[in-house]
A = this chain, B = another copy of it.
Amino acid sequence: MAPPWDEARAAAAALDAADPLAHVRDRFVHPDGVYLDGNSLGLLPRAVVPRMRTAVEEEWGRGLIGSWNTAGWASLPTRVGDRLARLLGAPAGSVVAGDSTSVHLFNALVAAARLRPGRTALVTDVANFPTDGYVAASVARLLGLDLVLVDPSDPLALARELDEHLAVLTLSHVDYRTGMLHDMAAITAQAHAAGGVVVWDVAHSVGALPVDLVEADADLAVGCTYKYLCGGPGAPAFAFVHPRWGDVADPPLTGWWGHEDPFALEPGYRPAPGAARLRVGSPPVLSMIALDSALDVFDDVDMRLVRAKSLALTDLVVDLVDRYVPDVEVVVPREHERRGSQVCLRHPDAYPVVQALIDRGVVGDFREPDLARFGFTPLTLRHVDVVDAVATLDDVLRTDAWRVPRYSRRSSVT
């Protein structure tokens, strides 16, 4: 007997009718089906379409070089940074946008290590997102530090590595595979007690839940904007530096845009005050403008409501899977305080299952070795979408629809 999906859908529809964020959904272009990959690439905000036309046809086409001033291109890195700062619990002047997360992270890690000369350990998550691990290893090698890998979900293991050798601890706020949310304030305090500095990667939390970098006393942070912030494909990432380090931090990527007066074209480098020194070269203006426009969506949005809806959506999927889809295991933590905005389900044939779901309009992604990952973007999804997604999953498993050759192995994109 099939599960009572009609009942579940009716209950979900009632929740949607009472959703204080329901109206925000209309600000996006929606694909057919249920898109649960907003944690890889967020939906297109409608307002971006005319904004990009203006940027290309008027600002570039007509304004040309003058648009650096008249259209505000020159202030994009700091202006977009200030808009992001509100979503990061950070003051104006402490965030800039412009390069990729990998580039910002490299710059932040070297700057962080330079705050702790003489210390020898660069500590990171053994299961960190690969680019974070690769960049940490490169920085350790360049500066002659010891790279130490830990499991941040194990407090005792973490405590053992945070000692008098600690220069820098760098972690992701949310584990990109399992969706586990780490306690930023507690871990930062632990690292500070050992005398180190902390660099957080908030790529998988910003825009999905309230992030409070200053409250958590983070030293530096980076994050990406193409996931929950809907900034567009490969949208420029950002970097944060705590105000206490704003005039002290000494980043290695000393491009002219990090200079106090870039257009004076002085022979000697003088870093700009605050996060502005984390700018590097000319920002990719068209991509920056799409991001700037996308952030309009968040202007009147209360991130506490976003978090509440995120948890309601992931609670619902966990509840429905627990009750009606016994063949998969819920991997995301049950406790709210340890959960990001995604749900991972374990199934031995997760890859073909994800492909069969995509073919039926339910878009998630596969993560090695046996995880199906679904992101729940609170501004674009409804509770009924969750029911539809789980009902489709149930149908795919119940009918063995994933057991066909065309769902066999290939790579995917985060």
Residue numbers of A with Cβ under 8 A of B are 29, 31, 35, 37, 40-41, 43-44, 48-49, 52-53, 56-57, 59-62, 64-69, 73-74, 98-103, 106, 110, 126, 129-131, 133-135, 137-138, 142, 224, 226, 232-237, 252-257, 259, 261, 263-267, 269, 280-288, 290, 363, 365, 367-368, 411-414
Which of A56, A68, A235 is most buried by chain B, counting CB atoms within 10 A of its CB? A56
Supply 17 further A-B pairs (C-beta < 8 A) apart from A73-B234, A99-B99. Answer: A29-B61, A31-B61, A41-B60, A43-B64, A44-B61, A48-B56, A52-B53, A100-B255, A102-B281, A103-B103, A103-B280, A110-B142, A129-B256, A130-B266, A224-B282, A235-B284, A263-B411
Query: Quick one: which of B41, B256, B261 contacts A411, CB cutoff 8 A?
Result: B261
Number of copies: 2
Please report the C-alpha to C-alpha distance between residue A309 and residue B284 in the assembled complex, in whole angstroms: 30
Which residue of B253, B257, B267 is within 8 Å of A106 (Cβ)?
B253
Contact across chains for A414 and B61 when beta carbons are under 8 A apart: no
Complex CA gap A164/B74 in Å reads 43
Q: Can you list 18 A-B contacts with CB-CB less than 8 angstroms, sorted by A residue number? A: A31-B61, A41-B60, A41-B64, A41-B65, A49-B57, A59-B233, A65-B363, A100-B284, A101-B282, A102-B253, A103-B253, A110-B142, A135-B254, A137-B269, A138-B269, A233-B282, A237-B281, A286-B286
| B37, A65: Cβ atoms closer than 8 Å | yes
Contact (Cβ within 8 A) B281 A101? yes
Which of A66, A233, A253, A368 has the most CB atoms of chain B within a 10 A radius of its CB? A233
Which residue from B52, B65, B266 sits with its C-beta under 8 Å from A413? B65
- Name the B residues within 8 Å of A263 (CB-CB): 411-414
The reply to whether B281 and A284 contact each other, CB–CB distance below 8 Å, is no
Residues of B within 8 A of A413 (CB): 65, 68-69, 74, 263
Which chain B residues border A283 with CB–CB below 8 Å?
100, 234
CB distance from A36 to the nearest CB of B (A): 10
B131 and A281 within 8 A (CB)? yes
A158 to B67, CA, bound (A): 39
> Which of B68, B234, B256 lies in contact with A131, CB distance below 8 A?
B256
Whether the Cβ atoms of B60 and A44 lie closer than 8 Å is: yes
Q: Which residue of B lies closest to A177 (CB)?
A: B265
CB nearest neighbor in B for A290: B286
Tell me which residues across on chain B come within 8 A of A233, comparing CB atoms. Answer: 59-60, 67-68, 73, 282, 285-286
Residue in B40, B256, B365, B411 whose CB lies within 8 Å of A264: B411
Bound together, the chains give a CA A231 to CA B324 distance in angstroms of 53
Whether A288 contacts B234 by the Cβ 8 Å rule is yes
Q: How far is the CB of A76 from chain B (nearest CB, A)?
A: 9
> Please, which residues of chain B bring their CB within 8 A of the CB of A284?
100, 234-236, 284, 286-287
C-alpha spacing A65/B41, complex, angstroms: 6
Do the beta carbons of B142 and A265 come within 8 Å of each other?
no
**Chain B residue contacts of A137, Cβ below 8 A:** 254, 269
Residues of B within 8 A of A101 (CB): 281-282
Report the bound CA distance from A226 to B286 in whole Å. 12
Chain B residues within an 8 Å CB radius of A135: 253-255
